[in-house]
Structure 1
Amino acid sequence: MEDILRPIYQERASQLNTLGVLMVQKKQKLSHITDSFDVILLVLVKEAEQPLFIKHYTYHDKKAAMHIITEAKLQEWLLLGTNRKIFEWLHEAKIIFDRNEYVAELKTELREFPFNGRKIKMGLEFAKLIRRYVDGKALFEGHQFLDAYNYVVHSLHHLARLAVLENGLHPELTVWNQVKQIEPEIFKLYEELVYSEETLEKRLELLFLASEFMIHSRTTIGTNHFLEILSRKEVWQFNEIMNEEELTPYSVDLAVLLEYMIEKHLVDVVNIETKGQGVFHRGYRLSKKLS
């Protein structure tokens, strides 16, 4: 089918805005890699009106999809992990066109996974883990066991992804297969939650206890990036943290993560006077124990 698609991707490659063109072909029995399509064309562009534009094509009994992705959208996916399939696509793809070795350098960077990139991703994964754990525990204490179970499954998934990142790897779609190899104790927790013959309440109770220990042991690496940014200024108000460019990816989990760090004495609360008597603005700063 590559011959059929050649005029389409050659037209894109001729445009100065195009950084690279990649092709992912379906592997036998693994159509999930290409979302059931025979071919995925990835066209990476410097900028566009839409950050993601998708076209579908058909030829006889074959079908293909072309994804035109801006550099900014691609970097967002790689940082936030909001499109996990992109890692697999970039890994499996054949490079059709590469302007100034943009794609080659991108693949090298993903393979080497610089520590700073890992540190940010670990922070975001830790924030999601704390959010799921806290919400799940609240549901458990309210005897909402089925809802709590759902949150615990998600929290274990974030814990697994965090462990993979800690080991210098990108979490893949088959994250539990990775974790089974590198962090078998986390995999065992997941198995106990899913397959144990204990009552759901008992399973959850044991999982919360075990998870608490595992979260505690990863607090330093999980909060490193956030605390590093916080140390740049003496006192922050919440809105300032929320709008700090390097911390905006934490947005939905920010309040819960901040309260967790206060509880663990990593962040101190500072009272800032207001015009109202006895009413204070709540400020935040790096704990004096850390500074």
Structure 2
Amino acid sequence: MEEMMRALYQDKTGDADTAAVVTMERRGHDDVSTDYFDAVILIIKENGRRQWEIKHYEADGVTAAVHIVATEQIDEWLTHGTNRRAVEWMVRGRVVYDRDEFMKNYRRHLNTFPEEKRQTKIGMEFSRLVRRYADGRSLFASGHYLDAYNQIVHALHHLARLAVIEKGYYPEVTVWEQVKRLEPEIHKLYSELTSGREPLEKRLELLLLANEFEMTTKVKLGSAHLLSIMEEAEEAWSVEDLKERVSFHDYSLDITLLLEYLVQRGVLRVILKETKGRGIQHRLYKAKRVPEAED
């Protein structure tokens, strides 16, 4: 297999825009980290012609997947958490080519997790947590316990990832192993939901209360990114302006729910502005900690 992999990536190491090459071999029959291929080769390009290109190969019954990825795409995956397999390859793969210590510096960057990126990722996870929790609570109230269970499991995953990021680490594929070490109380909530002996309805009822408490303790942390955006301007924000502003940060879909949640928690205040319609007013939003300018 080693000879096959070398043949697939060796010519790329001569390209001026190849920053690094990382390989990952399948560890066992049930290992899905390589998408069931015997090996994955990740070729990282600076200023790549295409953001992401995949090629599949086979020789003598051995399979390999080659992913040619631009550094911008890697950054996007890392920020938005949309391809955790690729992050695992970056973290755990074997570096076979490293121009100007690109991968060495990148892994150091992963371990330090810059504050700006951390705050953005916290904002994303918090918005998803609020959405999953709200959907789970609504389904529970309607008696749809299995659907509620699914939503609350997802909510706990976002809570877990939030806790890991808060500690200064990137969430890995095995996030619950990280949480068990960093935030054992949150790991306990997950264990109670998935393996508790009480009836499902009772487990959900208790977990909804615990989840709500955990969310309340993380409101300041989870809203910091959105508040930093809102403080860029003195005037109040419309929901449309905020949706456009956070669209890059991947939580514009949940912006309406997030805004209302933060209003209820006293983090934001509503500013009403007259419209042409009689008795109808626009609803605008402003961070409470920012004083309003005098008229």
Instruction: Provide the residue aligned with 1:119 in structure 2.
Output: 119
Matched, 1:267 2:274: no
CA distance in 2 between partners of 1:263 and 1:197 (Å): 34
Q: Confirm or deny: 8 A CA contact 2:110 2:169 kept in the other structure.
A: no
Give the TM-score normalised by structure 2. 0.91
1:100 Cα offset (Å):
3.4
CA distance in 2 between partners of 1:261 and 1:145 (Å): 27
CA distance in 2 between partners of 1:196 and 1:27 (Å): 32
Instruction: Provide the residue aligned with 1:53 in structure 2.
Output: 53
CA distance in 2 between partners of 1:203 and 1:162 (Å): 22
Which of structure 1's runs of 4+ aligned residues deviate more than 6 A? Answer: none
| Cα distance change, pair 288–31 in 1 and its aligned pair in 2 (3 A) | closer
- SS of 2:170 mapped into structure 1: coil
Q: Once structures 1 and 2 are overlaid, which stretch shifts more, 132-141 or 45-54?
A: 45-54
Q: How does 1:1-291 map to 2 (within 5 A)?
A: 1-27=1-27, 31-48=31-48, 50-234=50-234, 235-244=236-245, 248-288=249-289
Q: Confirm or deny: 8 A CA contact 2:77 2:84 kept in the other structure.
A: yes
| Cα distance change, pair 248–116 in 1 and its aligned pair in 2 (3 A) | closer
| Cα distance change, pair 57–120 in 1 and its aligned pair in 2 (3 A) | same
1:84 Cα offset (Å):
1.1
Q: Confirm or deny: 8 A CA contact 1:40 1:65 kept in the other structure.
A: yes
1:115 Cα offset (Å):
2.1
- SS of 2:197 mapped into structure 1: coil
RMSD (Å) for aligned C-alpha atoms? 2.0
Q: How many residues align?
A: 291
Give the TM-score normalised by structure 1. 0.92
CA distance in 1 between partners of 2:172 and 2:197 (Å): 30
- SS of 2:8 mapped into structure 1: helix
Cα deviation 1:215-265 (Å, max 9, x = unaligned): 111111111111111111121111111111576421122211111111111
CA distance in 2 between partners of 1:264 and 1:176 (Å): 29
- SS of 1:34 mapped into structure 2: coil
Q: Confirm or deny: 8 A CA contact 1:39 1:65 kept in the other structure.
A: yes
Q: Confirm or deny: 8 A CA contact 1:266 1:290 kept in the other structure.
A: no
Q: Confirm or deny: 8 A CA contact 1:19 1:46 kept in the other structure.
A: yes
1:46 Cα offset (Å):
2.8
1:29 Cα offset (Å):
6.2
CA distance in 1 between partners of 2:89 and 2:7 (Å): 22
1:17 Cα offset (Å):
3.2
Q: Which letter maps to 2:179?
A: V
Gaps of 5+ in 2: none
Q: Which letter maps to 1:55?
A: K
- SS of 2:173 mapped into structure 1: coil
| Cα distance change, pair 206–39 in 1 and its aligned pair in 2 (3 A) | same
CA distance in 1 between partners of 2:291 and 2:181 (Å): 34
CA distance in 2 between partners of 1:121 and 1:287 (Å): 23
Q: Confirm or deny: 8 A CA contact 2:80 2:249 kept in the other structure.
A: no
1:28 Cα offset (Å):
5.2
**Percent identity over the alignment?**
41
1:112 Cα offset (Å):
1.6
CA distance in 2 between partners of 1:87 and 1:230 (Å): 31
Gaps of 5+ in 1: none
